[in-house]
Amino acid sequence: MKISSPTFEANQTIPSKYTCDGENINPPFQIFDVPAGAKSLVLISDDPDAPMGTWAHWTAWNISPEIKEIAENSAPIGAVEGITSFGNKGYGGPCPPSGTHRYFFKLYALDKALDLPPSAKAGDIEKAMKDHILDKTELIGLYQRK
């Protein structure tokens, strides 16, 4: 399984359009080689370099395993978006207070759909999907504010 973006390469800079310095919209993604037995996908985007611990920028679950792309400025079709560390649902772009931070876009293939309320946070999702992960992939982007 693989996740990529046409707007930035792995371990390269995320364009400012997708950050708090720009339009603060999600970049587009392409998804490849989802395992045949997958029942749903989970996307968790976070920043492990945040001063107060890992900061969740976007969570979405119950994404169809048939999905091949996530369009710019849109939630995955049919997915449930959870609450981020910003305190709201939906995408919140990179906005590091200082230095270069790493942003992980982690995609998981699960053997079941998750029964979680939209108020779920990244920790709730990680707990619910434990023991149900068929495959995992990630794309890491970098960002430093100007």
Other beta carbons less than 10 A from residue 45's beta carbon = 27
Query: 126 — phi, psi (to 5°)?
Result: -60, -40
pLDDT in the model for residue 77: 85
pLDDT in the model for residue 146: 78
Structure tokens at 111: 């053997």
Asked if 92 contacts 50 with a C-beta cutoff of 8 angstroms, the reply is: no
Q: What is the DSSP letter of 118?
A: T
pLDDT tens-place string over residues 62-95? 999 999 999 999 999 889 999 999 999 999 999 9
Please give the distance of CA 120 from its chain centroid, rounded to a whole number: 14
* 135 dihedral zone (left: phi>0; alpha: psi -120 to 50; beta): beta
| Residue of 55, 58, 51, 48 lying closest to 80 (CA atoms) | 58
Go through the domains of the chain in sequence order and give each one's CATH number. 2-143 (3.90.280.10)
Q: Which residues pair with 136 in a beta bridge?
A: 108
Average pLDDT over residues 21-46: 97
Asked if 39 contacts 110 with a C-beta cutoff of 8 angstroms, the reply is: yes
Rounded to an integer, what distance in angstroms lies between the CA atom of residue 128 and that of residue 94? 26
pLDDT tens-place string over residues 111-146? 999 999 999 999 999 999 999 999 999 999 999 987
